[in-house]
Structure 1
């Protein structure tokens, strides 16, 4: 019987890379995201390439009613989730606190914290009932350190760090594993989203050094998920070789 992985925010970047890695490892998949066209394209590819079953759930994790409804309406056989990857998350803007946008703050808090909670509550109850499960939360170096103008994004990722620890305590009696993977600079759509479609500004973030790519993070997540039942990776910080901290990157001069 195939295992099942549920991946939020699977339409691009780390989420999409995780879908490929877990499908390669013979997991059936539940993939969620806001962009239905991308979900359908990814599902078709995974079915063809890896011969796995894929279930699509098209919703925004910020919407509690829709999130919970989509999850709870899954057939019972799809609720036997072995691994939940709480990947959905984003950053909006890069301004000092006094110049920040209320809308940007709401979007980050609603996605990165509340969305993670909505999904985790539903799926953790399935795992408790099933007697098995592993929750993997996508954090960030921004959840370990604070950098200039990162204020609210850093706050949301610090919240993920705290929730990861709290979830591990709460779910410990049920034998549910809980892990956080905290990447440093990863070249995905992250900066393009942060800068609201400004591709030139986003590209400059990764100039002069070799950042991580989504596959690096996905393979690390797979490492955590593939440990024996008695082994749990509580917390893992993953950085490019050129980066030592949140804002400390060695860039080669042209």
Structure 2
């Protein structure tokens, strides 16, 4: 009887301890948000010297050549530039702008003379020497978004220079030149509806990439984006080219037996 009474008394003494232990165990993780510490303050563009009166910029002229209808070319049927002879087209431009060496129609006299000797028929163009005729193989792409191809012509100039010209047609069949630029060209590419020109940059080891795009307001193609990028494989600034000394003032090894 005494033992039973002691067991009941001990049980009543221990029971209140279980809720207290569970409560203490849950204090370490309440399930709420935990602070991650202080976060950096967001900073936007800061206008330096806001009280300074800046210079006024006049409206810029179009960067590309203004649209120009080519004279001396028969009307283009169904706006199909594939039927246009690119050599005859360039020859017509030479007749319209004779002895012009600068500007959109500028051409070295030697190049102009060589173009006059190019064959104007498709069979003759296939047989003529590409180096003898500066008018290169034409390319076609819809650059204006009207569902019709434009004609892209390249003309080789001396010293790796090149004239890149683009032509389109209107519903009346008139051939319209919408791009004409002359650059020392590394390469020419088509990306979507853009003509991409890569030319050497003023910085060694870099090239300038220019994207020409159709402008509906001016009805011509303009250089819309430019980017200077490092030429792949060129050494980083401060790193000598392979085969050169690794440090300024480094001495060459002294000649030894068998060493010149």
Structure with the larger helix share:
1
What is the TM-score when the length of structure 1 is the normalising length?
A: 0.24
Q: Which has the larger radius of gyration?
A: 2
Structure with the larger strand share:
2
